[in-house]
Every structure is written in structure tokens, then in C-alpha cells.
Amino acid sequence: MLVHEGFEINPPGFTCFIAKINDAEIIGYAMYRKNCISSRPLYVDPEYRKYGVGKRLFLEVAKVAYETEGKKLDLHCLSWYPALTFYEKIGGVDITKTGEYHLLRLKEDTLNRMFK
């Protein structure tokens, strides 16, 4: 899916910002979908964390959302993910908690019951 959406269709289904050092080594990236400005994933090599690389990548994606009609950025974040605190600190609202939106998952056992 990643290869198809990123390289086989035009326009691509997502865009990616990358962080490099020495114009060669990639140390981080932030991917986002253009159709709804949804950020996922954002990654920084552990060796380069705590230097603001993740924040700068995030701000690049947020700037795209700001410049897009509708001005909205959806963030998908696991409950244990350290960035959750950062997102809430800058004003991110957990819309699952506020009742505006719920993300539900059907796990393997449920799917097995449905189709066996």
C-alpha cells in the first residue's frame, strides 16, 4: 500500500518531509495525507531525539494544514506514545474523549467470528 499510494499513483496519496544531516543521512520523517491533512507517522532516529527534529517536522506538516482550506490537522497517536503529551500541550484536543469522533478497531478474533 505504501509503495502504491506513494509512488504508483498520480498525485500520490501522501507526502513526506524528511530530516537529513550532512545532506545524506536521513534521521527522521513526517508523512501526511493531503486529502484530509492527517499526520502519521512521524519518526526521528533515537540518536537525534531531544534536538527539536520531531518538532520541526511536525511544524512543517502543521504549516501545510494551516495553508489548506479548512485549516484542520488530524493526528493519530497511540495512548502510550510520548508525542501525545506534546500534541495536548500545544492545544490538540483528543476528540475521542470529547465525543466528536471515535476510532474503533475490529481485532482478529472479532473478524474471525464474523466470517468463520
For the stretch 28-71, pLDDT in tens is: 998 887 766 666 678 899 999 999 999 999 899 889 888 888 78
CATH number at residue 47: 3.40.630.30
Residue 82 lies in domain = 2-115
**Per-residue pLDDT, 70:** 76
Check: CB of residue 105 under 8 Å from CB of residue 111: no
Number of domains in the chain: 1
Can you tell me the distance from the alpha carbon of 41 to that of 48, in angstroms, rounded to the nearest whole number?
A: 17
The string of DSSP codes covering 70-90 is T---EE---TT-THHHHHHHT
